[in-house]
Structure 1
Amino acid sequence: MDLQKRTAPAPAAELRASDADRDRIADILRDALAEGRLTSDEHAERVEGVLAARTVGELEVFIRDLPAGHPRRAAPAAARPVPADADDHVVAVFSSAVRKGRWRAGRRIHAYAVFGSVEIDLSEALFQYQHIVIRAFSVFGSVEVSVPENVSLRGTGGGVLGSFEVDHLDAEDPDAPVVHVDGWAVLGSIEGRPRRGKLVADILDRVHRKVDRSLRRHLEH
């Protein structure tokens, strides 16, 4: 009997977790953050627990309250995890790269700025998906992301002798698109900002033009 106990396979939950198991759970948590299911603090706390987990069962605890933790339950199409492969790459090496105007934004965009600048402007973009992830890397460069005011904006990342600044924005409409900026800045910068409405921008532009004309008239006299 004792021999049978020693040779019987251990339950799946008691198996030692591998690095691949931890990466899988971390990916699920990152997608949950992008979808608004977790706050930034909850995400950071759970990722820390994932890194310290020893068994598969301990890992599953961190996704027990998430749809991905219940594979038998069909999730709505909008809540499907964002794919790991990028739909679009925006690369600037000793140069600049811009995505702006009327363009179709994919579910995942990778931006790389190496001694260069990348600008991703979603203020007039066509949103085909509810969740968009922008993975940004800046090395001696800058990545700037602009979104319209009627979407939710979130971000997780950091800087090494650089800056990572993403203004968190919650749209009034719960079904509004969610843009998540994730990345690292090394001696560079990554920024995410809502773009002001065109009406406000036009008013400010007219005010500046009026002030400029007044100053020119004053100098001429």
Structure 2
Amino acid sequence: MRVTHAERDRAVELLQQAFADGRLTSLEMEERIAGALAARSRGDLAPLTADLGGAEPEKVVELKGTGGRITRTGAWRVPRALRVESDYGGVVLDLSHAVIEHPVIDIELSLEYGSALLTVPSDADVDVDGVVCQWGRVVCRAPKRRQPGGPRIRLTGKLGYGRLKVRFR
């Protein structure tokens, strides 16, 4: 199976942490990071972190809908990796009051005709460059002055005819 950007990034984070813990030399870390960034399949990526321990595969939480609305608001716990699939319904993810325990959050969207509204804290750093639009569009107007220290939210995936709107609150 082909490896995703999020999986490569996670492997790089594990390698950097292993170096910081003294489990890898700087040369080993550099070689393995180069391999992780060049990896095409999970088979290429797995050997680079297999001997480090604690490198269990991360759990991706999946939210799926066909025609209804998928909504998460309030003090919900945001997972490290989230995959959202919706054929016709709308998606509302409000992270402004959510419990965010991870510095980096990966959200993969797969929307055919539905649209998504993502509300994030004002100090969030949002990357929408990984979202591919067929007929839909992405609207993300980041504040001119972002406060440091907020979570980094990486969005990837595909929009068919829908729209993704990112709102800062």
The TM-score, its normalising length taken from structure 1, stands at: 0.51
Q: Which amino acid aligns with 1:192?
A: V
Distance 1:81 1:177, change over 3 A: farther
Structure 1: where are the runs of 5+ without partners? 1-19, 33-58, 64-69, 196-221
- Residues 171 and 105 (structure 1 numbering): CA distance in 2 closer, same or farther, change over 3 Å? same
**Alignment pair present for 1:183 and 2:157:** yes
**Is structure 2 residue 104 aligned with structure 1 residue 131?**
yes
Aligned to 1:157: 131
Cα distance in 2, alignment partners of residues 144 and 177 from structure 1 = 18
Give the superposition deviation at 1:177. Answer: 1.3
- Cα deviation per residue 1:166-199 (whole Å; 9 max; x = unaligned)? 34567432x421111112111112222212xxxx
Which amino acid counterpart does residue 102 of structure 2 have in structure 1? Y
Structure 1 counterpart of 2:77, one-letter code: R
State the match for 2:23 in structure 1: none
Deviation at 1:144, TM superposition (A): 1.5
Change (3 A) 1:109 1:28: closer
Are positions 1:172 and 2:153 aligned together?
no
The amino acid of 1:172's aligned partner reads Q
Equivalent residues of 1:158, 1:164 under 8 A apart: no
Pick the structure with greater CA Rg: 1
Gaps of 5+ in 2: 12-33, 39-47
Distance in 1, matches of 2:56 and 2:147, equals 23
Question: Does structure 2 retain, via aligned residues, the 8 Å contact 1:113–1:143?
Answer: no
More helix by percentage: 1
Identity %: 18
Which is worse superposed, 119-128 or 152-161? 152-161
How many Å apart are 1:163 and its aligned residue? 1.6
Distance 1:151 1:107 in 2: 15
Please give the secondary structure, in 2, of the residue aligned with 1:112: strand
**TM-score, reference length from structure 2:** 0.64
The alignment status of 1:92 with 2:65, answered yes or no, reads: yes
**Greater relative contact order (Cα 8 A, min sep 6): structure 1 or 2?**
2
| Partner Cα distance (1:193, 1:81) in 2 | 33
Matched, 1:192 2:142: no
Which residue of the other structure, out of 103, 107, 111, is the alignment partner of 2:80? 107
Report the Cα distance in structure 2 between the residues aligned to 1:61 and 1:92, rounded to whole angstroms.
33
